[in-house]
Every structure is written in structure tokens, then in C-alpha cells.
Amino acid sequence: MKSKFLLIASIITFIVVACSKIMPPEPDPEAVLAGPVEDLSPQQMANHIKGDEEFSRVFGVSDGLGPIFVAASCESCHAGDGKGHPSTTLTRFGKYNGPTWDPMISEGGPQLQHFSISGYPAEQVPSGIFGMTRLVAPAVTGLGYLEAIEDAAILALADAADANADGISGVPSYIAPPNYFIAKYHHQPVAGKYIGRFGKKAGAIDLTQQTANAYLNDIGITSDFNMQDLYNVQTGNNTGDNVPDPEVSASTVHNVAFYMRTLKLPPRRNAKDAKVLQGEQIFLNIGCGGCHTPTLTTGNSDIAALSNKVIHPYTDLLLHDMGNELNDNYTEGSAQPAEWRTPPLWGIGLTKDSQGGQMFLLHDGRAKTFEEAINYHGGESSGSRTAFQNLTQSEKEALIKFLESL
Ligand SMILES: [Ca+2]
Ligand SMILES: [Ca+2]
Ligand SMILES: [Ca+2]
């Protein structure tokens, strides 16, 4: 992250110009999200740095921004690689055609691009939708480890028929791969589809797909992966931005995906405090770990630093029915409208820092506190919600201290 160097530079300046003033508190390196995983080779580090620069690049009209778009850079939603603010959400909509979900492509769906370059009409939510959701940008650290988990390890956690009768029946999301998709040895396709891992409904199989789609759908930037610009089909405008396609090269997409892949794990804080340890035990006792899986191991990765590592992501990467409480009547892939992929909880304690001093939790940022977030847990998670509500005040505090330490 450039900000780290800026911070160091500004601290040095501060010491030079103001050494007689009171020193600012040391920036806590343990609380910084951005930064590469350890043990990258020099070549890998160079790719990471190139990807970092592209991630913060702000696109202008002459670079191919739009013609319709949501934001002008990756970083404007994924600030500091942490969770984004509700002022930069993605809006998606769709409807049913009989039993079949229709992403309303011919009406500009599934994603709303509500900004446009000058003289060009932006999109509006069309009439006739069944449901709509607003998604807050998730943190992007540690994702390479999630990508390196073997399909078998995810499938081992699935329990579609709830055979163990704990009320929890996670299912994998299955996604048709894009034509450029390259399967890894550990993928286990079913009828030509692969397990989705990224996005709130696990709609993307890997970080290359997620990155290529973000360029097109979020910024209006074509690449070798998606050569056709987005036009406003709602108004029938099909003149583009007059910038030749592709607007970024395949190597740019690969470097940014590599940057996503090699961001370090969110650091833990106060993990050994007595209250935190008590909260960790309560988290497991009341069934939170039934979806927020504490420990997984990665498989072999072509990035040695990610291979065969024991990680603590607090997710099973499976879809769960979260009940009416969290049902926006909107969906993707094989997910049902009330189904969401368990979000990782690593780094969740650092949410305030990247969301401007106030937390906005859950897919649309509706919950301002951990307690509120837990109280929205319905469907398969109602059992653990009830168990949470029955805790004593001091036990609830311990659980929340544990979440804050992640
Ligand atoms: Ca464009
Ligand atoms: Ca659209
Ligand atoms: Ca173009």
C-alpha cells in the first residue's frame, strides 16, 4: 500500500519539523489491513506492487471510464482494502420468469450503473423488478488463502439435508465458468459448473473472474476478458465512450487479481485476553462456528506462500438460508433469494477503521453494531441467534470482545 510509505514519510516530516511537539501515537502495524503476504519472491512482489497501483488508479473519460459506471476506481469502494462505506454500494435487481430467475439483461440488469460520462444517459432501476439489493464492498484481504482452499474441504462442510440436525444446511454455490476460466487441480466441477467463492452470493469462482467483472460492471472498463463496453440498453444508446477496447490489458487484470491474491491475512489483536478467550468459547458453544468455520487448511497453490497453510477465516464459503430477515428478493447463480455466503469474520474488528469510525455490517450495511448484526440472523442461524439472546450481559460482552479481536 502506498499509504504506508506516505505514513512513514509524513512521520519523518513530522519529526523533522515538529520535534518539540508531542509525538502522535505510533501507527499500530498490527491494525493495518493492507500489505503483502510474507515470503513472496521478488518477481511476485513486483507483480503485487503493479497490482496495487492499478487497484488505486482513478479512470477518467479518456481512459475509457463508462460510458455507464458505478465508481471510477477499485479503491473508491474498497478503501484501504477494508470494508467499504454504504455511500458506495452496488445495486442489483432482477425478477422471476415462472420459476426461473431472470437477471433482466435486456433492461440493464443485474447491476445498476447509475453514473455515466457527460452527455450519456445513466441507468435507472427499471419497473417490473421482483427484488433489489444494495451491497457494501467487502474487505479484500486474505482472499488468496480462500481461493487456495480445495473444493473437497468446502464440500466436507456442506450438509444440504442437515444430516447432523443442527438446523444448519450449507450448500455450495455452483457457477458456470467464463470462457477464460482455468481450472486448478483441486476443482471438482459438477455438470460443468464450479464452486463459487467470492461475492456475497458466491457468484465468482476465482479472483480473476471477480476482477475482470469488476472492471467492466463497476468501472465500465473493457479488458481482454470482457471486450464489449456496457451500453445503456434502457435508452437504446449504443454509442460507446470512443476509447478503443480493450481499455486495460490482460496483464493489468492479472496483476490486480494477483494483488488481491497476495494481500496478507487481517491481523488479530488481543487474542489472548481472558475476556476474548471466553468470548471465543461462547462463539463456538452457541453454534456461530457452524457457518463461520474457525479453521481451514489451504491446498497446494502456485504461490508457495499460500500453500498448505492453516488459516482462521471464520467462513465455510457455503450458502445459507438466512430467513426473511435478510431476504432482499434478489439472487445470483444457484443461490436462493434468502441465501448468502457466510462472510469471513477475519478482520471484522477493523471494520470501523475503514468505514469512517462507524460500522455498517451485513450485506447492505444495515447493522451498526455486532449485536444488531446477530439479531438479523434468521433462517438456519435462528438457533444461534436465540442462544445469543439468552446469554447474560457479561457473556454477550465477551462474545463481542472476541469479534472485536478478529
Ligand atoms: Ca469503457
Ligand atoms: Ca446495468
Ligand atoms: Ca471503449
**List of residues 6+ apart from 49 with CB closer than 8 A:** none
pLDDT digit string, tens, across residues 324-362: 999 999 999 999 999 999 999 999 999 998 898 999 999
Going by pLDDT thresholds of 50, 70 and 90, the confidence category of residue 16 is very low
**List of residues 6+ apart from 400 with CB closer than 8 A:** 279, 370, 371
pLDDT value, residue 186: 95
pLDDT digit string, tens, across residues 284-311: 999 999 999 999 999 999 999 999 999 9
CA 74 to ligand 1 center in whole angstroms: 15
219: phi then psi, degrees, rounded to nearest 5: -115, -10
pLDDT value, residue 240: 83
Domain ranges of the chain: 1-32, 36-139+204-261, 143-203+264-405
Residue 394 to residue 400: CA distance in whole angstroms: 10
Residue 320 to residue 170: CA distance in whole angstroms: 5
pLDDT digit string, tens, across residues 56-99: 999 999 999 999 999 999 999 999 999 999 999 999 999 999 99
For the domain 143-203+264-405, what is the CATH code?
A: 1.10.760
Q: What is the DSSP letter of 217?
A: I
CA 223 to ligand 3 center in whole angstroms: 9
CA 329 to ligand 2 center in whole angstroms: 18
Residue 388 to residue 367: CA distance in whole angstroms: 16
CA 57 to ligand 1 center in whole angstroms: 14
Residue 234 to residue 215: CA distance in whole angstroms: 21
Q: What is the DSSP letter of 397?
A: H
Going by pLDDT thresholds of 50, 70 and 90, the confidence category of residue 15 is very low
Q: What is the mean pLDDT of residues 188-194?
A: 97
pLDDT digit string, tens, across residues 234-256: 998 877 899 999 999 999 999 99
CA 257 to ligand 1 center in whole angstroms: 19
* Contact present, 28 and 270 (Cβ < 8 Å): no
Going by pLDDT thresholds of 50, 70 and 90, the confidence category of residue 34 is confident
* Contact present, 372 and 144 (Cβ < 8 Å): no
Mean pLDDT of the chain: 93
Cβ neighbourhood burial of 218 (10 Å; 0-12, 13-18, 19+): buried
CA 274 to ligand 3 center in whole angstroms: 57
Please check the confidence at residue 126 and state whether its pLDDT lies above 70.
Answer: yes
The residue that leads in pLDDT, 158 or 9, is 158
Q: What is the mean pLDDT of residues 171-186?
A: 96
Q: Which amino acid is at 261?
A: R
CA 222 to ligand 2 center in whole angstroms: 15
Residue 330 to residue 110: CA distance in whole angstroms: 9
